[in-house]
Amino acid sequence: MLYSADGNRLFSCGTGKDGDSFLVEWNESEGAIKRTYSGFRKKSAGVVQFDTTQNHFLAVGEDQQIKFWNMDNNDILTCMDAEGGLPSLPRLRFNKEGNLLAVTTADNGIKILATTAGLRSLRVVEAPSFEALRSPIESAAIKNGVDPMARNMEKPRTLDDVTDKTKPWQLAEIIDPAQCRQVTMPDSMDAVNKVAQLLYTNFDFGVLALGSNGIQKLWK
């Protein structure tokens, strides 16, 4: 269960005894379900997890995808596979600003999805680590004198840019590989050891993962 960032709305997500996943908003004063969100597959392989951001969006990891909902609409807003490699039920977590989304991968790695503002924050915090997180596609392009990151930041295709030009909180699809980052858990290739929980640090400068073996790992 999670509250929205302003603490005014309560949501819960999971998998029922019949195997069907659900995501609902509660009316606390009446102790009843206020809204049920649609868009889940039938008979989930396990318990789904979710997160909220900016008092407006919900994100759930299910069916090897990340699914998004507007809090005020029952129907699914959009879904994406983050260029593949996600487990059937990925764990995910937004940072406080809602411009970075950490998602676990099937090989016990972590992918970071970012809006334009999120990419700028990665550059500001620690440039060397940011460079290390570049994808092979980006590295090849930069060697040829082209920086797809810079080119991408000029195009109003992300949440931040769209928000400036249209109505607030209009979600845009992440369609450029340069907007995704990936890191791996160095000694966690064992299929038995999975990421059980994922959190951003208080100041959004790091990602903390709790493994099913009880070991915590931190990436700055």
Residue 146 placed within a domain: no
Residue 87 placed within a domain: yes
Q: What is the DSSP string of 11-50?
A: EEEEE-TTS-EEEEEEETTTTEEEEE---PPSS-SS--EE
Total domain count for the chain? Answer: 1
pTM summary value? 0.58
Residue 18 placed within a domain: yes
Distance CA 155, CA 7 (A): 34
Residue 80 placed within a domain: yes
Q: What CATH number does the domain containing 17 carry?
A: 2.130.10.10
Residue with tokens 């970071």: 112
Residue 166 placed within a domain: no
Of 1-15, 89-103, 123-137, the one with minimum mean pLDDT is: 123-137
Residue 147 placed within a domain: no
Q: Which domain holds residue 192?
A: 2-115+178-219
Higher pLDDT, 156 or 170: 170
Q: Residue 178's pLDDT is what?
A: 72
Q: Residue 158's pLDDT is what?
A: 45
**130-163 pLDDT per residue, tens:** 333 444 434 344 444 444 444 444 444 444 544 4
Q: What is the mean pLDDT of residues 100-114?
A: 91
Residue 34 placed within a domain: yes
Residue 169 placed within a domain: no
Higher pLDDT, 183 or 59: 59
Q: How confident is the model at residue 186 (pLDDT cuts 50, 70, 90)?
A: low
Strand 195-200 relative to strand 2-3: parallel, antiparallel, unpaired? unpaired
Average per-residue pLDDT in the chain? 77
